Structure formats: structure tokens, C-alpha cells
Chain A
């Protein structure tokens, strides 16, 4: 069974996680439409170390991992401070 390292409670089966996709910096509110479309649709498609959102269902927490999309090895857990700009605020 494939497992993923949950930063909160350690290694858990992959079936407990939901994939949230690549972390992308949203454009400013007055950005031109082309930038909005680029943010909405375009992705880093080629194999690389990708910074991506993951959700752990049982603990109900979102977190960010850096994962090699060729080897499927998680290289780093990204502290929330590093991606704070992307976390929705009330």
C-alpha cells in the first residue's frame, strides 16, 4: 500500500489523502485577462519537483509538499509560512 507522510501524524495510506494540485500564486485583482487565464488553466506539466497542495481527510488539514513527479518521492514538507500568500483569508 502506497503511503504518504502526513506532517501532522506521520505515514498514512494514500487513500486518506485528497490531491489539491500545484501551488500557484494567484494574480493581482486588476491583472489582465491573459494572466487570469494563465493562472486558472496552465500548469507545470513536465516532470519536475512540484510544490503541491494535499488534504488529509481524517485530520481535516491542508498542507504543502514538494514531490518529484517522476519518481513520486516527497522531497520536502513546506512550512505554511512559505505559501501563506496562497492561503485564503477571511
Chain B
């Protein structure tokens, strides 16, 4: 090894293999164009190449890979949803996540922590029981625990929350986990490029060519591309893309903010969510408390973070964990959430033939990265919705067949 190091020192590192190969020039035609180089888009490209043999694929990313909401979430993975459709879908995702480090040959720091959703009222306890029953019916490990068990399970927690909203119990979800979100994007990107997919960063889609109800290409700031299928996997930029395709959707963009404290000794080995206090918190492997809240109050296409957010969050986190009053906030940031009225995604085929949508990921998208990539790849390859995503189909609003997942959103909105 020292000889190799010496050789690199003398000759330079330019011949060494890089994590990502240099991208080729943008070609003027692909079978499939995926808009959005986040976790979902890169996962879809990877599964198109490996499971369906579709390798003539370009992933177009306006910024850099994983630089959107993939790198802005609070990295929580769980499947304790409310509707059977949601539970089935997210459970498949958790199971894929558990094997993903091996499959992609990259350490994702996948860490199963257990996940408490605190209930501060009878109404919340009722929802927790409901979720636990639906979860267990579908073989997902969730149970309602009482106040004492919450006290034993979460060190440093004030069970009375400063006296205003005492904890009555919680939904405990053992498979709840955190995972290094950037590595998920990097792992999928490397695996996809190794299988022949082209990933083009700093390539913004500016228009879409639709002829006779069928998509035939996209315009980018680096030239036009002809293609047989376009998959939009752009989360907060979805309405801009659907407008290019001439589609109306229920999606509205709200900023979602998060922050981390300075690092402290490891003390919190579980994930804690309180819907009533609008806060979720976990401790990263670096020791920082990673905290988030509900979305901002009004529609806004912006990733600026605000003082109102951090002030409100600090107020509530101190009720939950009184000792955090001594901690300082290190960083805060925001992402753009594409919210839907029923808090479920919009996935699959659309009225425009060859245009597929993977959107409406609101505040719940990161945990679905592997399953949305694989089900969307299956949907594109077969031109019909995969059975797991059929409940999330584009036209469910026109049919008044909403999915009703709001009760399982991490915090009230």
C-alpha cells in the first residue's frame, strides 16, 4: 500500500477510479429521462437498469445529487402509518432499507432506534390504538405503551411537558430507524452509473414536448432531448414540471424547516415525535440533536429558514426535554414540501402518455426512497401502476378516492 501511495504521489491521482465517473456529454436521445437527481430519481434509475434492463436512462438534476430534499430531511425511516395502503407501502420500504447497505455496497449508517409517537390527549391515544391495530394486522411491529413505559424508554423526557400537556402514552414502533440520507443518494447514484445510467448534474429542465397527448422529449438548459418516457421525481419543484406537461394537481408547496444543536454525549437512543407539540427529535451519530417541526404557515417556494421556526421549536423542545435549554442551535435549513390534501403521495401514470409522476411527498418522502424507486421503475417498464402504488394514483382526486393519511403525519399540520 505505501508503494501505491508513493506512485499516486508521483504520478497524480487522475487515473484512479473515482466514486462517480466523469459524466459523458448530454446525448440528444434516451429511452427514459428522469427529472430529479435525489434519492427517488437515482433509485428509480438504478432499478430500471438492474431489474428491468432499461439502461439508456438519463437522470437530470438542476443542482447536485442529493442536494434537494434528500439532504434536508431528518432521516427518519418508519412504517407506522394509518391506512393499510400506506402501511403496506412504507413497510416494504423499511424492509428494503434494512438490506440496502449490502446491496449498494456503501455504509448507510442505518441505525434501528425504535420510534415513540407521544400522545398528550385521549384523542391522540385513540389514534395511536388505531394505528397500532392497523400496523399489527399487516405484520408491522407497533404497540401502544403507557406513560410509565414512555418514561423508562426516553431518558431526559419531562413526562408532564412543563405541566401544559402531560404525556398519556405513546405509539412505540420498534423498526423506526435513522439512516445517513446523503449516502442513500450517493449509493444509488454510484450503483446506477455502474449499470450504465447517465447522471447529469447542473442540468435544468426548462420545458417538455407533448404531442397528441404523448410526451416526446424535454428541453434543458444544455439542449433538447428526445425520449420515450419522462419521470418527474422532483418533490418541491413538481408544480413547475406538471405545468410544462399541462396537468393540474392538488400539490401546494410549503417550506419545511429543521435544525441541529451542537453535539453532546450520546444519551438519546430512540426517536421521539410529539404531534401535539409539533416536534420530532433524534440524536445523530455525531451527537447533535436533529429536530424538525410542522410546515410553515403559508405557501412559499423558498428554502430560506426563519427565526420564527427556531423560536417556536426551541419553546416546545424545552418543554419536552428541559435540559436542552442549555444547548445551542448549530445549523438550521429548509426544504420545499409538495403537500397533498390527503397527506399521501401521487404516483404512477398520468393523463399524458409516457409522463410518470412521483410527487406529493410532502414531509414523508425520504423514508419511501427505495420502494418508490422500485415501484416507479416497475411502473415505467410496464406502463401500468405497480399494485403497491395503485391507491396513490394521479386520478384518485377526480374519483374522490383519497387515502386519508393525515393522522399518521409525524406532526399535526
Q: Which residues of A contact B (CB under 8 A)?
A: 1-2, 14-15, 17-19, 21-22, 33-34, 37-38, 40-47, 50, 52, 67, 69-70, 72
Contacts and interface: CB of A to CB of B under 8 A. Distances in A.
Given A45-B238, A69-B253, 7 more contacts: A2-B308, A22-B299, A38-B398, A42-B250, A43-B252, A69-B300, A72-B302
5 contacts: A40-B397, A41-B250, A43-B252, A45-B238, A46-B243
B297 interface: yes
Contacts of A37: 397-400
A34 B398 contact: yes
Most buried by A among B242, B249, B301, B308: B301
Contacts of B248: 38, 42
B251 A14 contact: no
Nearest to B312: A15
Contacts, number: 66
Contact of B308 (A15, A33, A40, A67): A15
Contact of A46 (B239, B250, B302, B397): B239
Given A37-B397, A38-B248, A46 B240 contact: yes
A42 B300 CA distance: 17
A19 B397 contact: no
Given A1-B307, A1-B308, A72-B302, A42 B249 contact: yes
B239 A45 contact: yes
Contacts of B324: none
Contacts of B399: 37
Contacts of A43: 249-252
A45 B308 contact: no
B298 interface: yes
Interface in B206-265: 238-240, 242-243, 248-253
A84 to B, nearest CB: 23
B239 A17 contact: no
Given A2-B308, A34-B398, A46-B240, A41 B299 contact: no
B194 interface: no
B107 interface: no
Contacts of A1: 307-308
A45 B297 contact: no
A22 B250 CA distance: 12
B121 interface: no
Interface in B247-286: 248-253
Contacts of B297: 14, 17-19
Nearest to B250: A41
